Structure formats: C-alpha cells, structure tokens
Structure 1
Amino acid sequence: MMSKTLLIVYHAPSPNTQKLVEAMQRAASEVIEDVNISAVPALSCQPAETLKADAILLFTTENLGYMSGGMKDFFDRNYYPCLEEKQGTPVVAVIRAGHDGTGTERALKTILTGLKWRWVQEPLICRGDWQEGFVDQCEELSQAFAASLEMGII
C-alpha cells in the first residue's frame, strides 16, 4: 500500500493556538502508520506541498470575524495552482474563535466550494475563552481524520 500524506496548514499566532496544532499533529501520528503528517504554517505553504497532499486539515484563528490573514494568504497563493488538480480532496477545519466563528466558517466554505474540496465534517469551532478541552477536541478530530485517510474511508 502506498503511503498517503496528511497536510496540516495552520496559522497559530499564540502559545495556546500553537498547543492545538501540536496536539493535532501528535494525535494524528499516534494512530496511523502509512500516513505522512506534514504541518506547514499557512504563510509558507506552497502549491507544491498542497498538490502532494491526499487530505488537508486547516487550522485558523478568527480575526475580526474572518479567517486569519495567514490563511487567506495561503488560499490566495494556492487557489489557482491547485484548482484543477485537487478537486475532491478531503478537508476538515478547526477554527479558534474568541467569539462565534461563523464568519470564518462561511468564508472557508465559500473558498472550498470554489476549489471543489470535499468537506469530511463540519468545521470544529473552538469558541470563547480558552479551555483545555479544546486540546481534546482537536486531538479527536485529527486522529479520526488521519485514521480515515489511512483506511481509505475518505
């Protein structure tokens, strides 16, 4: 069986958001053997890395009711180079929102509909003040996503 690649594209500007990304990367690595996990900051993720991915996990903060500028920059640089090649790519998203997260969710859904990437589940929104439970939620999502990729479910 050929190894698959799970790409985690993230914008994690604070220690707490970095903790969530590290938890997702660690948790996904614990449950799978034939999936390479690649975590790349949104500001430096290039189309070549996106094109190699078999599945993509997006992590963004919500800033002023919208995805982070770093995540928007990722889409600006990757949209056209990946548009034809990555249609149907399974994707999940985690939004760390101090308030409600709906603006970011709506923006991600609009962009990903245009890319024709395939949502595996609704975005996980870690809403409100920081809670340690966010770590568990992110771990569960990344484990399930990585295991589904490895088993060929997604």
Structure 2
Amino acid sequence: MSQEARRLLIVHHTASPTLHELFEAVRRGATTDEIEGVEVVTRAALHATAVDVLQADGILLGTPVNIGYMSGALKHFFDTVYYPCLEETRRLPYGLYVHGNNDPAGAVRAVESIAAGLGWERAHHPVTVVGAPAKADLEACWTLGATLAATIS
C-alpha cells in the first residue's frame, strides 16, 4: 500500500461461526478490487487500541447480541478508546453489523449512542442478522464493507 492509502479499521468480537461468516463478508466487501487506496486493518475488540482508532479514516464494528446489549468485548473497546479518541476522531465514518438469536435493537442502540458521543458519523445503516444468515444478510454485510471502504477512499 502506498503512504497515501486510507485506513479502514474493522473492530470485531467474532465469538461464533455465524459471526465469523458475517465478518468475512464485511472484509470481502471492504477489500473488493473495485475500491482502490484503502488498507483494511482488523482487530479483535479486546486487542484494538486508541492508536488503532486514531490511525483510522473509517471504522467498522461487529458484535454479537449479548443479553440485549453489545458484547462485553466491544464495550471494553469503547471504554478503552473513548476519552483518548474523543476530540481527534470526530466525524469518523463508521458502520455496524450485529448478530443475535433475538432482538438486536438494544445492541444497536448502545453502539449508536456511544458512537454519537464520540461524534462519529454513521456511513451506512446497521446490518442486523437474527439467527442463521441468509444470502441477503451476507450480501448486506459485503455492501457494508464496500460502502465504508468507498466512503473513505
């Protein structure tokens, strides 16, 4: 990648085979050959740092629904980066994908609330998948990744 490449950070908690399938679809979309000049960096939520966020031009977040909320790992990520990134990452474009076996609304609402507090700007509506992903769900994840990559390219 050239020094001019824009960086898309994917922060995910991939705790199941289904979430791995969604993550891979998002990553394939973000790395499509149709979009040039974007470096895609992936970090597990428990290992992503404020430096990762500060170096990003856009961010994609992935989480399971845990008891109606985002995963503890993604919450830990937000707790770790919130204040160090508060001023420097305003207007950072972001996207979100969520998987659960029940209603994902609480998880989406929690992530969007924290992202709004950080001043991040939603670049694509959240992709929510309940139960086993259908072909349309995987396509929506691919589109999410491609949209975020295109947004920052």
Q: TM-score, with normalisation over the residues of structure 2?
A: 0.92
Q: What amino acid does structure 2 have at the position aligned with 1:66?
A: Y
Task: Please give the alpha-carbon distance, in whole angstroms, between the structure 2 residues aligned to 1:69 and 1:60.
Answer: 9
Whether 1:130 and 2:118 are equivalent positions in the alignment is no
Partner of 1:107: 110
Task: Please give the alpha-carbon distance, in whole angstroms, between the structure 2 residues aligned to 1:104 and 1:88.
Answer: 21
Task: Please give the alpha-carbon distance, in whole angstroms, between the structure 2 residues aligned to 1:109 and 1:24.
Answer: 19
Partner of 2:123: 120
Identical-residue share of aligned pairs (%): 37
Partner of 2:9: 7
Task: Please give the alpha-carbon distance, in whole angstroms, between the structure 1 residues aligned to 2:125 and 2:41.
Answer: 22
Partner of 1:29: 31
Task: Please give the alpha-carbon distance, in whole angstroms, between the structure 2 residues aligned to 1:27 and 1:53.
Answer: 17
Residues 22 and 141 of structure 2 are in contact (CA less than 8 Å); yes or no, is this contact kept in structure 1? yes
The one-character-per-residue Cα deviations of 1:121-146 (angstroms, maximum 9, x if unpaired) are 3211112x202322221011111221
Of 16, 19, 36, which aligns to 1:17? 19
Aligned length in residues? 149
Superposition RMSD in Å:
1.3
Partner of 1:55: 58
Long gaps (5+) in structure 1 = none
Task: Please give the alpha-carbon distance, in whole angstroms, between the structure 1 residues aligned to 2:115 and 2:143.
Answer: 23
Q: What amino acid does structure 2 have at the position aligned with 1:98?
A: N
